[in-house]
Amino acid sequence: MAGWDVHTHLIPPTVLAAVGSFGLTVDGDWLVVDGHERLPLRKLGDPAALLSWIDEQQLDGAVVSVPPALFRYDLGVEWAELLNEGLRSLAGPRLRVLGQLPLHDPAAAGVSSSLAAEGVFSGFALGTAGFGGLDEVWQVLDALEAFTLIHPGHSADKRLAAYYLSNLLGNPYETGLAAAELVFADVPGRFPGIRFCLCHGGGVTATLAGRWQRGIDTARPGIEPPSLSVADALRRFYVDDLVHDPAVLALLQTTFGADHVLAGSDWPFPMGSDQVDPDRAGAGERLTRPLGQGVAEG
């Protein structure tokens, strides 16, 4: 059975061409972003390596987003345009691309509409940089029924510096924080067309769903009850299956629904998967068809 890996990464060629500006430098085999974030250049800068992975896994293709170190929402529209130019050049029969939005810029909603109209982009990838005040963006993504990958960025908690905890604990926390913002702001209830997909199995989301509902039920401070229960809201999300634990995978199927657990490898990062499950790869094809080329079902 063939299918699509919904969670892979490449550095767009326009980023590599921009080294020397935008705070980009190269140190050996590493792309250095703003002097501290480091991205390995070999596979991340090589679309042919990703195509080899697709062949190795006997897949139809892969969905590409930029590594989270490149979200850089503080750079606004100019940076988003640079990334999207490079992503367009990567799109093809076996590589689908997720567009970059200048998320906190007033132009974000207009950019999402423009990218969708091209018929090139298969949705959008968003970092966990805070989702307040984005109703205009959600309105556009809702009308598009857009596949919208939520990928964690670097946690600001300095206690996570040791033991690689910035990734091992910080990434799952960041994804859970993003999911909580969406659930408590009633985004799944108000904008049901958006096909949000949470990376890394949704991080800590599934384990905290009951606690979040308890907070609603007991009217904890700052909570306005959303239109959906937490359980119903989470059933509107998709997640990838990248959890490295069969017991957690079973929890994901219970929490989000078995048909909402997609194949996602996080290629080519070391914390990714070595093998894509073909039984979960099929759904990725219909959910990530390029926007403007027919509405996906499901």
Say which CATH number the domain at 139 has: 3.20.20.140
Q: Are strands 238-240 and 195-198 parallel, antiparallel or unpaired?
A: parallel
Apex CA 169: angle with CA 168 and CA 172, to 5°?
100
| pTM score | 0.96
C-alpha span between 228 and 55 (Å, rounded): 41
Q: Which parts of the chain register pLDDT below 70?
A: 1, 294-298
Looking at the 3D structure of the chain, how many domains does it have?
1
Residue 36 in domain: no
Please report, to the nearest 10 degrees, the dihedral formed by the alpha carbons of residues 136, 142, 147, 149 taken in order: 40
Residue 22 in domain: no
Residue 21 in domain: no
For 259-291, write each residue's pLDDT tens digit: 999 999 999 999 999 999 988 999 999 999 999
Please give the DSSP secondary-structure letter assigned to residue 269. S
For 192-217, write each residue's pLDDT tens digit: 999 999 999 999 999 999 999 999 99
Task: Return the pLDDT at 296.
Answer: 43
Residue 40 in domain: no
Domain of 188?
4-8+63-288
Residue 187 in domain: yes
Residue 13 in domain: no
Task: Return the pLDDT at 1.
Answer: 57
Q: Identify the burial level of 243 via C-beta atoms within 10 angstroms of its C-beta, where 0-12 means exposed, 13-18 middle and 19 or more buried.
A: buried
Residue 51 in domain: no
Residue 43 in domain: no
Contact 63/122 with Cβ under 8 angstroms? yes
